[in-house]
Structure 1
Amino acid sequence: MTETGIAFETLVGPCRSDLDRPRLTFLHESGAEEVITGREIIDRSEALGRRLVGGTHPGDRVLLAFPAGIDFVVSFLGAVWAGLIPVPVPYPKPRRPLSRYHSIATDSSAILGLTNRETLERVDADSVSSVRWLSPSVLAELDAGATPSRSTGDRSQRPDPDTLFLQYTSGSTGIPKGVCVTLSNLMANLEVIQRGFGLDQLARDRRVVCSWLPAYHDMGLVGILLSTLVHDGHAVFMSPTSFMQRPSRWLSAVSDYQAAITVAPCFGYRYAVAKITDEEMSGMDLSGLRVAACGAEPIDPSVLRAFSERFASVGFSDNAFYPCYGLAECTLMVTGADRLPGSEGGRAVRDGTFDAPGYHCQRISRQGMRDSIARPPEDASDAVELVSSGVSGNATLVRVVDPLSSLPLGENHIGEIWVHSDSVAAGYWDKPETSQSVFGSRLSGDERRYLRTGDLGYLSDGQLYVTGRLKDLIIIRGQNHYPEDLERTVQASIGGRADCLGAVFSVSDETGESLAIVQEVPRGFTAEQSGELLDAIRMAIASEHDLIASAILLIRFASMPRTSSGKVQRGQCRQQFLDDTFKVIDRWQPTIHLDPALFPDKEELLRSVDVSSPHGQQIVRDRIERVLLNWLVGQLGCERNSVDAQRPFAECGIDSLMAVEMSGQMEHWLDVRLSPVIAWSHPNAEKLAEYLADQLLGNQQHTDVVAEQSIETLLAEIESMNEMEVLDEIGKD
């Protein structure tokens, strides 16, 4: 058997134990389920693989740009069967060309791209000239013909010639880095997941995992889909958009399928607590849930407690929580909670340390963290509560190292987290120098190769506590954002002046992580100019990054904290922002103006109106339009006269997550079925109000012009969680 045959059989072989048992169930936004058995997975993947052989060489890279669904899995496995290297990328949002993946295509030297038929019809063939875009459904209609002879392909760019797939790191598409994951890396990490989740202790029919994480994110791809196939389980999954529009779909699916495992970033648990109603909880049964894994971003202990309290009445046990830590460079999982079976409540272990059922927590000094030491707090105001990300196992070694001297640190000292494991990838695609510095570090007297994670943390009694990010990665709503990308956008808003420095960073509030922006302005900047610049920055960040800033400060020229080499000190900048010590010229922060009667009773819309007459129908449209405009005012924190019914939502600053929330709220309010991406096809308040009124009144003159598959497209943030991103998130608050 060839190397690629071994890889394919390793991934799908467990399906042969019962070929007709469902292995993957995708839940469409409409409520329909799409089920595929082991036999169908193998047959469809092999058929696609045979068609991909023609015109390719072993080791050629193929971009996978699919909406959430089973086609992604079949295409990934088909590429493996054909000896190609799959490169998962986020599915493009409606009206956004595939050219946004030019940098990934260029970096990976991809020669082929697979997507669905609908997206194929809007691909600009010249947007990524090196890539030929195809659809599996179109290929299936062609005659595969005779398989041509193939060369061995060019494997010189791979840090390891056995690369199975490339996992591009979340956030930046300007300077992409493709992690080269081998089959041995994957299997080592799946062993970590199996032991951590206790999969070997579950009967085969109980190995059901339910998730909304995007498949292009490492948590969705490795932790959900590939883990399910290799561990002989059953994955029930939906799109991130379906979850965002109605979070109850996630937990209802856990209940309906009696899933034993679910995985989400902290943001997902927070969102569920905030959005799922008592009525939606009626009939739920979460008592079968054994593992509720939480990772991909900082874990807030208050969120875990709130989730436990909220869903205890429907059977959720906080013993199920499984905090964990990982990253794509280590395939996925590094550490996970050492389970505390039989725990009935938190118990003090020693000063500042206690166990919640299922996981460990510590309270340490806020000032001590600034001094890089985890010590007990002086008083309540000095306390910071952290959740342990668990312990390492399966021959995984975690060390905490001084990032400057590369010397190992003792217990309770905060430093950079280094990892040695068979799960650590070979390096980044075609980046030998960066790969050596990130994947090839060594400690004095230790010949083992370590991965430098760029994350900060400390070890205490074997437990890993993650405290921050050495590399300033920003995670908001499960999506990773690189500050350099955001800062470039802000710089462009000010005319690209290199002498005016700017910094972006995340700050925490009651809703989670949000974005703060600080930007220097030239001398002599006027109030009129500052207002225009604040608006320009807001719009640029919203349109280019799908983010809404929680605060924008314009500060005096040359007042930004700098290093001796002139670089921005983001950490110091963030501290000055929190301490409010900047010399501020002007600022913008949203203010909330929510009317308690924002959504009147639906009957109010129809009261005293003859809905059979054109005039009466127009009154209903006007009333819905007024609610939409008031909703925009509340979300954006702006004045009522600054929003206009004919102004596109995107220009108003509505990001994709807010658009999905709007769709969900309107659907609940009017009790009409809506696509979560309705704002893309009815892009302002006037058009959307007209559509909603017609749906409410039963008029059928409007049809949703969004293609069916576009329903699953919106979250390259969670993800991204690509977000992934969920995540490439998911990942990814």
Structure 2
Amino acid sequence: MRGNMTTLTLTPTTNTVLPFKTSGFSDLTNALEYAAKGNTGFNFYNANAQLEQVLSYTDLLDQSLRVSHCLLLLGLKRGDHLPVIAETRAEFLILFYACQYLGIIICPCPMFASVAERSTFATKTLHMASLIKAKFLIASNGLINAFFTENTNTLKCISFEQLTQEAQHSKLLTDSTQFSPIKENTVAFMQFSSGSTSKPKGIRIYNHDVCEHVRIVLEEVMKLRAEDRSLSWLPFYHNMGLIGFIIASVNGQRSVDCFSPFTFVGQPSLWLKLMSCNKTAITYAPMFAYQLAIRAFTDELASDLDLSTLRVAGIGGDTIHLEVMKKFHHLYAPYGFEFNCFLPSYGMTEAILAISAKRAGEPVIIDHFENKELVSCGHPLSGYQLTIKNANPISGRSVGNICFKNNAETDTLIGNLDSDNGIIDTGDIGYLHEDNLFILGRQKDVILIRGRNIWTEDIKTFIASNNNELTADNIVVSSIEVEQEDRLVVMIQHNQSSTFQVIKKQLKKQISQQFNLSADIVFVNELPLTPSGKIISDRFVELYTKVKDRQSK
């Protein structure tokens, strides 16, 4: 499974021995067993763009069954919850499907996404483990030694490496009577929503529902083809990475090339290089990834770049900016990228994955709203109903809280999701126009300052477009109550202290002139955001207070 570039060979794009299918799978193990009859699979790259691991679906099935026996020997049984740090490695996929064979509910836990999160990584992970009353925690040797040596009195840590070694040295038992695969509509796994608070929500995903949802995404949205190859750096604990690429790829028997989100952030050009080299047809990422790809453009990168095979460049997970899409297209159109390859979408963990999406091959829809150009997130997927609650007429559109309803049985550790007769409020504001969904922002992104509704996204976009040294993804805008008054706060990730005062004075003037508002400008080394880009409220207040206290001394 592991090796160097001279001993590893990419799994093929097209299955030469297995008919292509996307439906008819009763459960996740059934889909894997079908895919294992072919010769496609997963390929893992390291930060040096070297092929580091290859895992065909045949090997994934074999290794999953072996690891299943190891889990049984640990005393794990059907219905137990197993937290696993979801690193981008083949061993996670093996463990995921091993749990499916035993009826163990795997709970992918996030890696820390930043330096600031390192300090709370162990605490948050142990908190998640305690929520599900876990007896074991699976992670790499490196993470266990760095974070979990002193804080696990009631939790036994087991490494991927240990499980892999035991599986390799054990004989694959033909007796599988102790197996109890997850069937019908029982819980298949649990996902912790990233959330904007320190208390993540464990959301249970059911087997039949995820199989059906993936079928709809593959057939209706992606319009998957037998010759498609995918590329992903999305984290495996996120629904876009876990459901959108791991499960969807197995259920569609597609070969996927992967590398870690840490590698992407440090080296976004690798994303483009692999698209070109491996003739990628489908990739997916949040909006900020396309911004990084714009900055990564160089003549050297472009010298042998070919993006002509790309037919789906999915966007989801954060605010969609038309200007970024246009810039990306302008830069990469000469190398085969087509604007209508963009596939904007909208979803959340509570909905399994996607609620609405543009369909592959269809044009990007743009609407003009209050002097803005907004990009449509497509129309609802089959089985989903979208409604706008508490709507108000604004510029000819009925704007309000975006709510959805579907037929899935998704719930949480402590019971059903918060809903009104099955209708779930997403927490976002937007509108429907000609069956297309347009997002204006989070309900929390509309802040009230002196009786005025202020769209924080408007302020971010204005600042970024009028200050070349700043970008929207390095800015957070919110309000804080200070001495019984709501105060507008602009927090900027910027480490050039010599320019703080100049930028601060300039921004205060610009915001005052454009929005008739007084703003506090604070600079930080790292923004208080979740991996999904949501503001961590308590951390925001803490950073603001620290900066203001330091300035007052």
TM-score tier (shorter): 0.7 to 0.9
- Alpha-carbon distance in 2 for matches of 1:24, 1:720: 28
Query: Does residue 188 of structure 2 align to residue 168 of structure 1?
Result: no
- Alpha-carbon distance in 1 for matches of 2:179, 2:209: 26
Query: Does residue 465 of structure 2 align to residue 441 of structure 1?
Result: no
- Alpha-carbon distance in 1 for matches of 2:122, 2:264: 25
Matches within 5 A, 1:556-567: none
CA gap of 1:253–1:297, structure 2 versus 1, over 3 A, is same
- Alpha-carbon distance in 1 for matches of 2:239, 2:476: 24
Question: Which residue number in structure 2 is paired with residue 412 of structure 1?
Answer: 397
Question: Which residue number in structure 2 is paired with residue 508 of structure 1?
Answer: 460
* Structure showing greater relative contact order (alpha-carbon pairs closer than 8 Å, 6 or more residues apart): 1
- Alpha-carbon distance in 2 for matches of 1:334, 1:214: 20
CA gap of 1:170–1:578, structure 2 versus 1, over 3 A, is farther
CA gap of 1:150–1:42, structure 2 versus 1, over 3 A, is closer
- Alpha-carbon distance in 1 for matches of 2:391, 2:150: 44
- Alpha-carbon distance in 2 for matches of 1:520, 1:148: 60
Instruction: Give the letter aligned to residue 412 of structure 2.
Output: Y
Q: Is the 8 A contact 1:64 1:115 kept in 2?
A: yes
Q: Is the 8 A contact 2:344 2:378 kept in 1?
A: yes
How far off is 1:393 after superposition?
3.2
Question: Which residue number in structure 1 is paired with residue 288 of structure 2?
Answer: 267
- Alpha-carbon distance in 2 for matches of 1:148, 1:38: 20
How far off is 1:171 after superposition?
3.6
Matches within 5 A, 1:20-39: 21-33=39-51, 34-39=53-58
Q: Percent identity?
A: 22
How far off is 1:588 after superposition?
3.9
Structure 2: stretches of 5+ with no match in the other structure = 1-24, 448-453, 465-470, 506-510, 537-553
Match of 1:247 among 268, 289, 306: 268
How far off is 1:13 after superposition?
2.5
- Alpha-carbon distance in 1 for matches of 2:269, 2:130: 40
CA gap of 1:471–1:504, structure 2 versus 1, over 3 A, is closer
Query: Does residue 450 of structure 2 align to residue 450 of structure 1?
Result: no
Query: Does residue 97 of structure 2 align to residue 77 of structure 1?
Result: yes
Name the structure where strand makes up a greater proportion of residues: 2
- Alpha-carbon distance in 1 for matches of 2:186, 2:221: 28
Instruction: Give the letter aligned to residue 186 of structure 1.
Output: V
- Alpha-carbon distance in 2 for matches of 1:148, 1:304: 51
How far off is 1:581 after superposition?
3.5
RMSD after superposition: 4.0
TM-score by length of 1: 0.57
CA gap of 1:17–1:161, structure 2 versus 1, over 3 A, is closer
Q: Is the 8 A contact 2:49 2:270 kept in 1?
A: no
- Partner-residue secondary structure (3-state), 2:365: strand
How far off is 1:182 after superposition?
0.5
CA gap of 1:415–1:55, structure 2 versus 1, over 3 A, is same
Q: Is the 8 A contact 1:212 1:239 kept in 2?
A: yes
Matches within 5 A, 1:182-331: 182-200=206-224, 202-203=225-226, 206-331=227-352
Question: Which residue number in structure 2 is paired with residue 561 of structure 1?
Answer: none
How far off is 1:281 after superposition?
1.4
- Alpha-carbon distance in 1 for matches of 2:250, 2:435: 32
How far off is 1:538 after superposition?
9.1
User: Who wins on radius of gyration, i.e. which is larger?
Assistant: 1
Query: Does residue 452 of structure 2 align to residue 428 of structure 1?
Result: no
- Partner-residue secondary structure (3-state), 1:216: coil
How far off is 1:361 after superposition?
0.3
CA gap of 1:31–1:656, structure 2 versus 1, over 3 A, is farther
- Partner-residue secondary structure (3-state), 1:122: helix
- Alpha-carbon distance in 2 for matches of 1:209, 1:720: 24
How far off is 1:217 after superposition?
0.7
How far off is 1:301 after superposition?
0.8
Q: Is the 8 A contact 2:391 2:398 kept in 1?
A: no
Residues 185-213 of structure 1: per-residue CA shift (max 9 Å, x gap):
2112212211244444x22xx22111211
Residues 385-429 of structure 1: per-residue CA shift (max 9 Å, x gap):
10000012323222222279xxx99x931122222223x452221
Instruction: Give the letter aligned to residue 515 of structure 1.
Output: V
Question: Which residue number in structure 2 is paired with residue 361 of structure 1?
Answer: 366
Matches within 5 A, 1:573-584: 579-582=515-518
- Alpha-carbon distance in 1 for matches of 2:84, 2:308: 36
How far off is 1:232 after superposition?
0.9
- Alpha-carbon distance in 2 for matches of 1:14, 1:161: 20
Q: Is the 8 A contact 2:26 2:208 kept in 1?
A: no
How far off is 1:6 after superposition?
6.4
Structure 1: stretches of 5+ with no match in the other structure = 342-357, 366-382, 443-448, 475-502, 524-533, 543-547, 554-574, 591-652, 658-715, 724-733
Query: Does residue 78 of structure 2 align to residue 90 of structure 1?
Result: no
How far off is 1:333 after superposition?
0.9
Residues 660-695 of structure 1: per-residue CA shift (max 9 Å, x gap):
xxxxxxxxxxxxxxxxxxxxxxxxxxxxxxxxxxxx
Residues 681-715 of structure 1: per-residue CA shift (max 9 Å, x gap):
xxxxxxxxxxxxxxxxxxxxxxxxxxxxxxxxxxx
- Partner-residue secondary structure (3-state), 1:276: coil
- Alpha-carbon distance in 1 for matches of 2:514, 2:32: 51
CA gap of 1:262–1:102, structure 2 versus 1, over 3 A, is same
- Alpha-carbon distance in 2 for matches of 1:223, 1:390: 17
CA gap of 1:185–1:123, structure 2 versus 1, over 3 A, is same
Residues 482-510 of structure 1: per-residue CA shift (max 9 Å, x gap):
xxxxxxxxxxxxxxxxxxxxx99664132
Q: Is the 8 A contact 2:229 2:279 kept in 1?
A: yes
Q: Is the 8 A contact 1:170 1:719 kept in 2?
A: yes
Residues 256-315 of structure 1: per-residue CA shift (max 9 Å, x gap):
111110101111112111222121111011000111111111111111111111101111
How far off is 1:466 after superposition?
1.3
Q: Is the 8 A contact 1:213 1:721 kept in 2?
A: no
Question: Which residue number in structure 1 is paired with residue 77 of structure 2?
Answer: 57
Matches within 5 A, 1:537-616: 579-582=515-518, 587-589=520-522
Question: Which residue number in structure 1 is paired with residue 548 of structure 2?
Answer: none
How far off is 1:465 after superposition?
0.9
Residues 28-81 of structure 1: per-residue CA shift (max 9 Å, x gap):
102221211111111111111211123122111111114322222122112222
Q: Is the 8 A contact 1:551 1:589 kept in 2?
A: no
Q: Is the 8 A contact 1:105 1:128 kept in 2?
A: no
Count residues with an aligned counterpart: 469
Match of 1:44 among 42, 60, 63: 63
